[in-house]
Chains A and B, each alone.
Chain A
Amino acid sequence: MTEDANARIDEIVKGNEIVLFMKGSPLFPQCGFSSRAVAILQHLGAEFESVDVLQDQAIRQGIKAYSDWPTIPQLYVHGEFVGGSDIMMEMYESGELAELLQKDGAQAN
């Protein structure tokens, strides 16, 4: 990973309460896993920032090294890596995700 990409990712992760690195945009997700991650966040009424990794190869590769996580989407809340779409789904089903996001000022439906 280049230092530049790492620094940019770090700035995005630390500069946003809730940020999802995904393929495509929330309106037009380009992958089923990203689509599922967006659907979960929207269902919980979370306001989140998204980063389309398909628009930036350095971030697409860099984000995998950043959290030692091989796949996209990746969710970060308050600067902490939460997980990918499977972990988001498990945490959604158990209520943990709603709790985590509520702590960060988002409104649950």
Chain B
Amino acid sequence: MAMDAAEIETLIRTGIPGATVEITDLAGDGDHYAARVVSESFRGLPRVRQHQAVYAALGGRMGGALHALQLTTAVPE
């Protein structure tokens, strides 16, 4: 049920055009990742909405194929 980092990155970039995405494989097991997503589209949105945008880009995989994704979102400085 694991996903690789490139697949996660592609899904997020496709769902949130122009986003900067950094994926870190935390445990080296292809199942525990951290993602940092920076997008201008997050500006003015509460954090919950920012994270929901990323989860939407992942299209339902979060909590399923992708169990552990530590997510950080930000707007460009």
Instruction: State how many residues of chain A have any CB contact under 8 Å with chain B.
Output: 16
Contacts of A68 in B (CB 8 A): 52
B48 and A70 form a contact (CB under 8 A)? no
Counting chain B residues whose Cβ lies within 8 A of the other chain, the interface size class is: 10 to 19
A64 and B63 form a contact (CB under 8 A)? yes
B47 and A87 form a contact (CB under 8 A)? yes
User: Residues on B close to A: CB < 8 A?
Assistant: 47-48, 51-52, 55, 60, 62-64, 68, 70-72
B68 and A33 form a contact (CB under 8 A)? yes
User: Residues on A close to B: CB < 8 A?
Assistant: 32-33, 64, 68-72, 81-84, 86-87, 90-91
The secondary-structure label for the interface of chain B is mixed
**What CA separation (Å) do A86 and B33 show in the bound complex?**
12
B72 and A69 form a contact (CB under 8 A)? no
Contact of A83 among B51, B68, B70, B72 (CB under 8 A): B51
A71 and B63 form a contact (CB under 8 A)? yes
A86 and B63 form a contact (CB under 8 A)? no
B48 and A87 form a contact (CB under 8 A)? yes
